[in-house]
Structure 1
């Protein structure tokens, strides 16, 4: 009878909850927000959250912007309260004074986002909400502060412990495959047949991270080619006319495309964990693998060359490789980090710059962003942690002897930004 009673209780609770969520609510959005943050009952809170999310999804951009500005201004911290509680904690450190300070420094909108997330299916909506915020509020400092609250919560909700690694194959559900085609951001997948060539052969793999609350939405995925040697051309790697090899005959795993799928998770890093997990899994599956490398674009190369007034049109392939090596090793931001975003990512993961290749990406995009040059980043698994530590602490760029030699050649050519011309008096 206890089991039957529990079952009947669950059924009645779900029916009551469904009825409460579907019940119309005439309160304004601001009133619903206040009610949700102050709710003490589970059903009343879920009902308010459900109405807020439904109304948000029906808003146009102007209404969304108004919603975000309400959260940014009316649900912000109280600076005076923060100062007073901090003073109280400094004078008398205790559990109570610390709790008061922590309550003061957390804006009410963080609790609002948490409570919204208690609604079934809310996580995916909140991710899309942050994507809207990033698009609509990129030039508004107050909205950028609101984004920090989203990011703070998402870092916890989407940490590695919650992520599930799943292989993507030709047998994966069609709605997942459609999203792989849509989200591919490095090398366009032109058709279903093109996707088939990347998934079906024995020397091809694809893996994606998913979150339990978003089982039908990949967060990030990586495409892998199993090869004999380290490749130097994306067109050779992806051509339909290549010779397919058996997976257990491969010596190299090539990560040739990594695509983030959710704009609302910008700044939440998954790639580091993804590459290392996939490399570990492949090493266990295929003990014959000796090298784990990328074949990566250099998206900032031509922009940097233009900014430096360095002519690169018509130069030979050796000089292109010299320019690319210098850019990757020596072109820095003001904080000492490499200019190139892909370089920052892989070097920060503990990879090393292994080789650069001219005429490696002849697509219009490849020519436009990097004059057709591509780079291999090598993940030497026993040295990844050491490389990461050196890069993080001293910004030392790990690179092969070949890359260091090319960089030295560039320095002899004095590839520096020219001094601006002085205006005549």
Structure 2
């Protein structure tokens, strides 16, 4: 079967080189979708799938919106079939009845996506299609329900078992390095020299997850600094003048930047698995590394201060740090979840809020978002599961005693009165 598949794939690739004709009419899509869903022949199905994907790639935004409407309306579940198949299963819960119910309850567009995904490079195209959906369609729109289908399929297709961890080094292919520069979302990489300082020295590491169907597209990557002690300034970590530390002398790994690369995979969680895998790899490579910590931004801190009626310019440095500690341990959204997205990520992974630092990020973004304050989340491997369960179930924030004490010293009433 493997040989037959290879032959069919070769025939398909030779027969379908290049994009479809520019005379493609988007009104043909409903017919092509039905043709693909009813197709029994593999080559015919592949050719039809490629026509749909190439046709979609040629669309403007208005045509893409029509495409999503078509997916939502024409390939939705049939409520009558769902009701009748569920009634049949309740009356006689056999395997066949259960299978019939599952088939009725699944929108036909999920099977369409599976068949589209048989085309070489289709996985990347479908991820880009979901990115378009998230960009163009309002979450309140009826058509947005098809995002549930994308999310359902991608959660399976991008399961941790399929992901490959690769170290990114200065010797990595140039097209991969270019994407690391482009996708860096926390601390912008200003030049090739800047990138080289982050991946070449022996006290620097960069790791990324890849998927076999998208081998040239990083899904998420993390940048790591090997240090002595926990870092308290991004300027110091990224300084052009710093002297590299021999890796065998390091006792701490600092995760200072985690960047998701694919907008179409929003909500598909990789970060937890990435950090755990990197911790395992670093522990095996460098047994002297005993501490794993982040140096993280606090992106909504300044916005929260403003919402409390506090002018950051009026805060002395000790009260600024106390306010940051209070924010990280206590700030909540209206729905009860933690206010800060970075905090939600690391606390959800089981980390501990360890410390806060003033003047830690003097970039324009750092000043505007967090008044230059940064924090460390400590990954204590012996307590990750316990901390995760407490945060997930009771919304309890794991924080170091010194940070809890600092939070209690924040006196917003006095700050407001002085202002």
Give the TM-score range, shorter chain: over 0.9
RMSD: 2.2
| CA displacement, residues 107-134 of structure 1 (integer Å, 9 cap, x when unaligned) | 0000000100011111011111110111
C-alpha contact (below 8 Å) 2:315/2:415 kept by paired residues: no
C-alpha contact (below 8 Å) 1:21/1:46 kept by paired residues: no
Q: TM-score, normalised by structure 2?
A: 0.93
Is residue 355 from structure 1 mapped to residue 355 from structure 2 by the alignment? yes
C-alpha contact (below 8 Å) 2:86/2:101 kept by paired residues: yes
- Matches of 1:300 and 1:416, distance apart in 2: 20
- Aligned residues, how many? 411
| CA displacement, residues 72-124 of structure 1 (integer Å, 9 cap, x when unaligned) | 11111122222222222222222122112111110000000010001111101
C-alpha contact (below 8 Å) 1:296/1:374 kept by paired residues: yes
Long gaps (5+) in structure 2: none
| CA displacement, residues 386-408 of structure 1 (integer Å, 9 cap, x when unaligned) | 11122112111110011111222
SS in 2 for 1:70: helix
- Matches of 2:35 and 2:414, distance apart in 1: 62
Match of 2:365 in 1: 365
For the structure 1 residues 196 and 407, does the alpha-carbon distance in structure 2 shift closer, same or farther, using more than 3 Å as the test?
same
Displacement of 1:287 after TM fit? 0.8
Match of 1:89 in 2: 89
Displacement of 1:311 after TM fit? 1.9
| CA displacement, residues 334-353 of structure 1 (integer Å, 9 cap, x when unaligned) | 33221100000000001000
- Matches of 2:73 and 2:414, distance apart in 1: 48
- Matches of 2:9 and 2:269, distance apart in 1: 36
Q: Which moved more, 1:50-59 or 1:332-341?
A: 332-341
Displacement of 1:243 after TM fit? 2.4
Match of 2:400 in 1: 400
- Matches of 2:41 and 2:145, distance apart in 1: 30
- Matches of 2:6 and 2:137, distance apart in 1: 43
Match of 1:161 in 2: 161
| CA displacement, residues 145-182 of structure 1 (integer Å, 9 cap, x when unaligned) | 10110010000000100000000000000000000000
| CA displacement, residues 346-375 of structure 1 (integer Å, 9 cap, x when unaligned) | 000010000011111111100111111101
For the structure 1 residues 374 and 114, does the alpha-carbon distance in structure 2 shift closer, same or farther, using more than 3 Å as the test?
same
Displacement of 1:136 after TM fit? 0.6
Match of 1:152 in 2: 152
Match of 2:233 in 1: 233
1:279-298 to structure 2, matched below 5 A, reads 279-298=279-298
Q: Which moved more, 1:118-127 or 1:302-311?
A: 302-311
Displacement of 1:141 after TM fit? 2.5
- Matches of 2:260 and 2:215, distance apart in 1: 16
- Matches of 1:219 and 1:14, distance apart in 2: 26
Displacement of 1:20 after TM fit? 4.7
Match of 1:17 in 2: 12
Displacement of 1:17 after TM fit? 2.7
Displacement of 1:22 after TM fit? 5.5
Match of 1:45 in 2: 45
- Matches of 1:245 and 1:59, distance apart in 2: 52
1:190-205 to structure 2, matched below 5 A, reads 190-205=190-205
| CA displacement, residues 40-76 of structure 1 (integer Å, 9 cap, x when unaligned) | 1111111110111111111111111111110011111
C-alpha contact (below 8 Å) 1:308/1:416 kept by paired residues: no
Match of 2:274 in 1: 274
- Matches of 1:262 and 1:88, distance apart in 2: 42
Q: TM-score, normalised by structure 1?
A: 0.92
Displacement of 1:213 after TM fit? 0.7
Q: Which moved more, 1:376-385 or 1:135-144?
A: 135-144
- Matches of 1:361 and 1:321, distance apart in 2: 14
Q: Which moved more, 1:334-343 or 1:86-95?
A: 86-95
Match of 1:112 in 2: 112
Displacement of 1:409 after TM fit? 1.9
- Matches of 1:52 and 1:153, distance apart in 2: 19
SS in 2 for 1:368: helix
- Matches of 2:169 and 2:374, distance apart in 1: 27
Long gaps (5+) in structure 1: 1-5, 418-425
1:223-262 to structure 2, matched below 5 A, reads 223-262=223-262
Match of 2:189 in 1: 189
Q: Which moved more, 1:199-208 or 1:83-92?
A: 83-92
Displacement of 1:140 after TM fit? 4.3
SS in 1 for 2:382: helix
C-alpha contact (below 8 Å) 1:20/1:43 kept by paired residues: no
- Matches of 2:5 and 2:87, distance apart in 1: 49
- Matches of 2:106 and 2:286, distance apart in 1: 49
- Matches of 2:153 and 2:315, distance apart in 1: 49
- Matches of 1:82 and 1:415, distance apart in 2: 61
Match of 2:129 in 1: 129
- Matches of 2:356 and 2:17, distance apart in 1: 59
Displacement of 1:291 after TM fit? 0.8
For the structure 1 residues 415 and 134, does the alpha-carbon distance in structure 2 shift closer, same or farther, using more than 3 Å as the test?
farther
- Matches of 1:320 and 1:404, distance apart in 2: 15
